[in-house]
Chains A and B, each alone.
Chain A
Amino acid sequence: MTISDKIRKIKIGMASCGIAAGADGVLAVLKEHADKIPIDQVGCFGHCYCEPVVEIETVDGGSVLYSRVKPAPESIANILALGKAGRFQINPVRQAKELLKVTRLAGVIDPTSYEEYVENGGYAALAKALAMTPAEVVDEVKKSGLRGRGGGGFPTGMKWGFMAAKTAEQKILICNADEGDPGAFMDRSLMESVPHQVLEGMLIAAYATGSTRIFIYCRAEYPLAIKHLYIAIGQIKQHKLNLIAGREIDIVVKEGAGAFVCGEETALIHSLEGKRGTPRFRPPFPTDSGWQGCPTMINNVETFGNIPYLIAEGAASYAAVGTATSKGTKLFALAGDLAHPGLVEVPMGITLREIVFDIGGADPAATKAVQTGGPSGGCIPVEKFDTPVDYDSLKALGAIMGSGGMIVIGKNRCMVETARYFLDFTHRESCGKCTFCRVGTKRMFETLERITAGAGVPEDLDFLAGMGPKVIKASLCGLGQTAPNPVLATLRYYRHEYENHVNNRQCDVLACDKLVDIKLDPAKCVKCRLCIKNCPVDAVSEDFIIDNNKCTRCNTCIEVCPKDAICRVKKGEGFYRE
Chain B
Amino acid sequence: MGQNYDYLKAIAPESSNLIKGLQAVQTREGYVSDASIVAVADYFHTPVVETEGVLSFYAQFKSTRPGRYQICVCDGTACHIKGSPLISEWISTELGITAGETDADGLFSLETVACLGCCSLAPVFSINGKVFGNLDRKTTIRILKEYRNK
Contact = CB atoms under 8 A, between A and B. Distances in A.
A371 B57 contact: no
Interface residues of B, number: 49
Interface stretch (B2-10, B102-110, B125-133): B125-133
Given A276-B53, A407-B77, 16 more contacts: A51-B120, A182-B114, A183-B79, A220-B60, A257-B22, A258-B59, A259-B58, A274-B44, A276-B54, A335-B120, A342-B120, A405-B119, A418-B81, A552-B89, A554-B86, A554-B89
B124 interface: yes
Contacts of B134: 21
Contacts of A185: 115, 117-120
Given A259-B58, A554-B93, A184 B119 contact: yes
Contacts of A334: 120
Contact of B16 (A188, A273, A409, A552): A273
Interface in B78-120: 78-82, 86, 89-90, 93, 113-120
Interface of A is mostly: mixed
A114 interface: no
B119 A341 contact: yes
A271 B136 CA distance: 37
Contacts of A549: none
Contact of A405 (B59, B77, B118): B77
A280 interface: no
A20 B117 CA distance: 10
Contacts of A431: 57
B124 A371 contact: no
A421 interface: yes
A176 interface: no
Interface string A355-376: 0000000000000000100110
A379 to B, nearest CB: 11
B37 interface: no
Contact of B81 (A179, A221, A336): A336
Nearest to A278: B57
Contacts of B132: 20
Contacts of A413: 81
Contact of A51 (B23, B75, B89, B121): B121
A274 B81 contact: no
B19 interface: yes
